[in-house]
Amino acid sequence: MDDLKYQVDLLNAMNRRLMDERKMLQLILDSSSSCYVYVNFKENMVRTLGSWSQYWDFEVKSVSDFEKIFDTVEDDYVMPFRDTVFLEKKGLELSGVQVRKKAGRMWIECEANVIYGRDRKPEEKVIRFRDVTKYNLQNEELTHLVYFDEISGLYNRNYFIRLLGDMIEKADGQGETVSVMFINIDNFRSINDSLGIIAGDEIVQHFGDLLKEFISDNVLVARFSGDIFCVAAYAPSGESSADRIFEGICERIGKPIPISGGQEVLLTVSAGIAEYPEAASSALDLVNCAEIVMFKNRNRGRNSMAYFSQDVLSDFLNNVQMENKLKDAIFSNNFMMYFQPQFRTVDGSLRGAEALIRWKDETGKFISPAEFIPIAEQSGTIVPLGTWIIAESIRNYVGWKDIMKEPIRLSLNISAIQYRQPDFVESLLKIISEYNMNPEELELEITESVLIGDYQEITRKLSLLRGYGIKISLDDFGTGYSSLSYLKNLPIDTLKIDKSFIDTVLTDENTQVIMETLMYMATKLNLETIAEGVETREQFEFMEAIDCTDIQGYYLAKPMPADEFVNVIKAGKSLLLMGDL
Ligand code: C2E
Ligand code: CA
Ligand code: CA
């Protein structure tokens, strides 16, 4: 009897435990965001569990009900989904797939698991469905950040280089070529400065959209940074050739781009093209070659494009070498200032001197400033070099003070990059006061390139300098845009007529008319005029006859070292003109 009671108690206890476990299982399933299907093959039984109704809006009562599930997903996923759900047909134990539902574009992860009997026949199967939409979207976003540029939606630099590497590998196998075009929007910085960063972003987006039209199986497009874009074309020919793509870009930017605020911007670009295998064999080198060509080409004018050549590369390498030599030279005292006298036309008296830098490299060879100043400007070395030029010239100038009967003018060439430094005026004034120089004896020669950019800031600085009595001379006048409105609005004292006019003034009637008109205007505006590069007596006489106030050139004197210039000061006049005037 006791035995029976014991057995009943035991059964009850087991039953309770079983019930508890069922409850627990149900609780877990109910609180799970996943849903499950249980299939028992032997009993031909199907049950759904968990959050089934959140995934599917039909019930599964028999195996054939499954067919409905395949209608709910996007077409591309039907086959792999079927393979996973009916994995036992392929004798698999485990299988998984991610599918996308048509409705709501929900991503579902599906995993199926089959248990086989000893006879290898399937006995039971569990299929689990899990919503992975959120996770996938986050992943997509991350992937996008890794591969794409946020503003333009184009590939970013890193990913482009990777894809270009694949392209080159393929081209290598198939004996094909690959063109890489490096593109830069002209004057983007000043667009950004004048219209603001938001407008700048709009322009980048617009330009990116326009480049997207060229994307194809064989054409990749990327934005590298700021205003720099890159295009790669596999087996370029016809529509996908670099020439045609460039033409297409220029056509599309021929129309002004509207930006918010009602303004319109007209863009131009510069491009450099390098081709595999001719220019380089790796993706990175190819892009670098295209970049070098673009930079070299950039100053040639708007919408210009050039192809890579070995000459471009050797020029570039020379420049790099020169840049390094320049940096060393600053430290090793290899620079010297020369001074070229300027004379008054009216009486041949000494007006002043233009300070011109000279560089003797370590082999003792003179390198022309026309060659190294542009490189110093590109690399930024011009800033410390320019400060040295100012200090060294002024040091020489004040050394002559004792022998000067009357003060003369010291003219310094100021590079646009140097002028744009925020502390330019301050640092100049500091040197002037250190050497105790009278600022009224100083003249700064600036070119029109100084005047490009933030016009207000530029003229503010000019007026500030003039407030101290420093004179401003517009160098190479006539070679740039030379808008005459400059002369009316700018605070300047002197026009320095470019040598190219002097070269042709005796032979070309147009030049003569321009010169005569200019001299007339300058007199009216109370500006001094100095002709540079006067090499002959005839040129001198012509300029004198049309009232050019000052003359500089080999005819009267060449640039010379400071100790020789002492003799010019002592004479106080042009020896050549002394007899005449
Ligand atoms: P620039 O400012 O136009 O200087 C005038 C150039 O013409 C100088 O060449 C001068 O030696 C040369 N020259 C003067 N008279 C004659 C002449 O009658 N015939 C000929 N054929 N040439 C004449 P340089 O010294 O070789 O300088 C070339 C350029 O390098 C300068 O052109 C200027 O742009 C730049 N540069 C020279 N020194 C400096 C400097 O100290 N600072 C800066 N920023 N640039 C400088
Ligand atoms: Ca000059
Ligand atoms: Ca000049």
> In this structure, which residue's CA is closest to atom 16 in ligand 1?
533
The answer to whether the CB of 180 falls within 8 A of the CB of 287 is yes
For position 7, what pLDDT does the model report? 87
What confidence score (pLDDT) does residue 297 get?
Answer: 83
Residue 369 Cβ < 6 Å to ligand 1:
yes
CATH class for the domain made up of 32-136? alpha beta
Residue 8: predicted pLDDT: 86
- Tokens coding 182: 């490096």
Q: Report the CATH fold assignment for 336-571.
A: TIM Barrel (3.20.20)
Instruction: State the distance from the centre of ligand 1 to the C-alpha of 370, rounded, in angstroms.
Output: 7
> Are residues 179 and 242 in contact, defined by beta-carbon separation less than 8 angstroms?
yes
DSSP calls for 440-477? GGEEEEE-GGGGSS-HHHHHHHHHHHHHTT-EEEEEEE
Q: Residue 302's pLDDT is what?
A: 78
Ligand 1 and 415: CB distance under 6 A? yes
- The pLDDT tens digits along the chain (581 residues) read 678 888 888 888 888 888 888 888 888 888 888 999 999 999 989 999 988 989 999 988 887 888 899 999 999 999 999 999 999 999 999 999 999 999 888 999 999 999 999 999 999 999 999 999 999 888 888 888 889 999 999 999 999 999 999 999 999 999 999 999 999 999 898 888 888 888 899 999 999 999 999 999 999 999 999 999 999 999 999 888 999 999 999 999 999 988 888 888 999 999 999 999 999 999 999 999 999 999 888 867 678 999 999 999 998 888 888 888 888 887 777 899 999 999 999 999 999 999 999 998 888 889 999 999 998 998 889 999 999 999 999 999 999 999 999 999 999 999 999 999 999 999 999 999 999 999 999 999 999 888 877 788 888 999 999 999 999 999 998 887 656 667 777 889 999 999 999 999 999 999 999 999 999 999 998 999 999 999 999 999 999 999 999 999 999 999 999 999 999 999 999 978 765 55
Residue 92 is predicted with a pLDDT of 95
CA of 377 to the centre of ligand 2 (A): 16
d(CA 325, CA 313): 18
**201 ligand 1 Cβ < 6 A:** no
Q: Which pLDDT belongs to residue 211?
A: 96
The pLDDT score that the predictor gives to residue 103 is 83
Hey, whose CA ends up nearest to atom 45 of ligand 1? 413
Residue bearing tokens 């070299």: 296
Ligand 3 mean position, distance from CA 442 (Å): 17
Task: Look at residue 391 in the predicted model and tell me its pLDDT.
Answer: 97
CB of 533 closer than 6 angstroms to any ligand 1 atom: yes
CA of residue 519 to ligand 1 center, whole Å:
23
**Could you tell me if the CB of 337 is within 6 A of ligand 1?**
no
Closest residue by Cα to residue 417 from 442, 372, 464, 381: 381
Task: Give the closest ligand to the alpha carbon of residue 373.
Answer: 1
pLDDT value, residue 581: 53
Its pTM stands at 0.66
Cα(46)–Cα(53) distance, integer angstroms: 16
389 touches ligand 1 (CB under 6 Å): yes
Say how many Å lie between the CA of residue 152 and the centre of ligand 1: 45
Q: How far is the CA of 340 from the centre of ligand 1 (A)?
A: 9
Residues 405, 46: Cα–Cα separation, whole Å: 115
Peptide bond into 277 cis (omega under 30): yes
φ and ψ at residue 212, rounded to 5 degrees:
-60, -30
| Dihedral class, residue 507 (left if φ above 0, else alpha if ψ from -120 to 50, else beta) | alpha
326, 339, 356, 498: which to mutate for ligand 1, most atoms within 8 A of CB? 356
Sketch the domain layout of the chain as residue ranges: 1-26, 32-136, 148-308, 336-571
- CATH of 148-308 given 2.10.109.10, 3.30.479.10, 3.30.70.270, 3.40.50.720: 3.30.70.270
- pLDDT at residue 19, as a whole number: 85
The whole-number pLDDT of residue 483 equals 62
Find, among 523, 581, 522, the residue nearest to 556 by Cα: 581
Ligand 2: centre distance to CA 95 (Å): 79
**Extended strands (E) in 331-481:** 335-344, 350-360, 366-367, 409-413, 442-446, 471-477
Query: 492: which DSSP letter?
Result: -
Q: Give the per-residue pLDDT at 482.
A: 58
Per-residue buried b or exposed e for 297-315, using 16+ beta carbons within 10 Å of the residue's own CB: bbeeeebbbbbbeeebbee
